Amino acid sequence: MSDPVNLNKFRKAKAKVEKEQTAKENRAKFGRTKAEKQRDKARKDKLSRLAEGHRLKDAPEQEG
């Protein structure tokens, strides 16, 4: 006869593998690396500074 198999361990191992697979899929679908987040923040800051630099300091007064 063969050795008895602990079904509880088998079920837990299977659930762990499925959970890891789901996590991997979610990382690929939703995750961004730290470098990507920093790059996007730097771009946003640069565009903000550029727009702020082109803003008029005082609005011209209208005569009339």
Per-residue tokens: 44: 């946003």
Q: Domain ranges in the chain?
A: 10-53
Amino acid at 52: E
Q: How confident is the model at residue 60 (pLDDT cuts 50, 70, 90)?
A: low
Amino acid at 55: R
pLDDT (tens digit per residue) in 1-11? 788 889 999 99
Cβ burial of 8 (10 Å; 0-12, 13-18, 19+) is exposed
pLDDT (tens digit per residue) in 5-54? 899 999 999 999 999 999 999 988 888 888 998 999 999 999 999 998 88
